[in-house]
Amino acid sequence: MAGAGDKKLVRSKSGLRMVCVNERFRSPFELEEPPWIPDNECLECMECHVRFDLMKRRHHCRRCGKCFCNVCCGNSIALPRMAFVDPVRVCGTCVPVTRKENEFFDKHIKVLMNGAHFLVSDDSIDENENETFLCKLTQDHRHISFEGGENAKHPPIQLDQITAVQIITSADETQGHIVGKGLTLKHKQQGQMTQSKLMVSESHNRKQSMTWLASMQKAMKMIHEARGDSES
């Protein structure tokens, strides 16, 4: 039987993709391939309106599935968000979006997986024994794990069970601007709605925790988008 993290190589008309054997275990950041606009519904480039013929061939953007000429869809870039193995053809509108997503995959996922220290409080921990944990995104991108608690343990939080994220801020007197202090996560744990508070721990690397918070905010945006939620 296939394990949770097992991946397989599949060939779609857009290219080779490396996807989870079991859909249930796929990364919450991953997007489905868009449906391609059928050739017979598209007689001209959707950007510059040049008509397609034997010389002017149509090309589909792998990010949005729309139909373009070679000039308007000439960029070939990596699209890890759809799990493509090789760079694929992307239209002019989708290039900046894809670059941003790639930055998330190159940079922010690594920040989240390296983890940072937070003072954690919620229903699963006794009110007066708030513990500091090393909070990390797991290898499969599906959970936040809590490591290194001295007196308490904390169950992992499943990312796709998070319904709301709020950054806790306060005015920094010395620097005169608003700084992030932590975040609250509303999520379902064993069928129950619960709220977890992760506060930046002053006794650990503060900068690392702040960076982690910023990356987490980006992560939640990506997840909302992948779910097709309109709220952000």
Residues engaged in binding Zn ion (CB under 5 A): 45, 47-48, 61, 63-64, 69, 72, 91, 94
User: From the CB of 99, what's the least distance to Zn ion, in Å?
Assistant: 13
Burial class (CB in 10 A: 0-12, 13-18, 19+), 96: exposed
219 vs 46, 112, 138, 157, 172, CA distance in Å? 31, 9, 13, 14, 25
Q: Which helix (H) or strand (E) holds 219?
A: helix 206-227
Q: Name which of 83 and 91 has its Cβ closer to Zn ion.
A: 91
Q: Name which of 8 and 56 has its Cβ closer to Zn ion.
A: 56
Round to whole Å and give the CA distance between 210 and 217: 11
User: From the CB of 73, what's the least distance to Zn ion, in Å?
Assistant: 7
User: From the CB of 58, what's the least distance to Zn ion, in Å?
Assistant: 10
192 vs 2, 120, 188, 232, CA distance in Å? 30, 18, 5, 22
Q: Name which of 4 and 48 has its Cβ closer to Zn ion.
A: 48
Q: Name which of 26 and 58 has its Cβ closer to Zn ion.
A: 58
User: From the CB of 151, what's the least distance to Zn ion, in Å?
Assistant: 52
Query: Is the Cα dihedral 104, 108, 112, 117 positive or negative?
Result: negative
Paired with 90 in beta bridges are 75
Q: Name which of 69 and 157 has its Cβ closer to Zn ion.
A: 69
User: From the CB of 71, what's the least distance to Zn ion, in Å?
Assistant: 5
80 vs 55, 87, 205, CA distance in Å? 31, 9, 30
Q: Which helix (H) or strand (E) holds 117?
A: strand 116-121
Query: Is the Cα dihedral 84, 87, 90, 92 positive or negative?
Result: positive
Q: Name which of 60 and 143 has its Cβ closer to Zn ion.
A: 60
Round to whole Å and give the CA distance between 74 and 45: 12
User: From the CB of 64, what's the least distance to Zn ion, in Å?
Assistant: 3
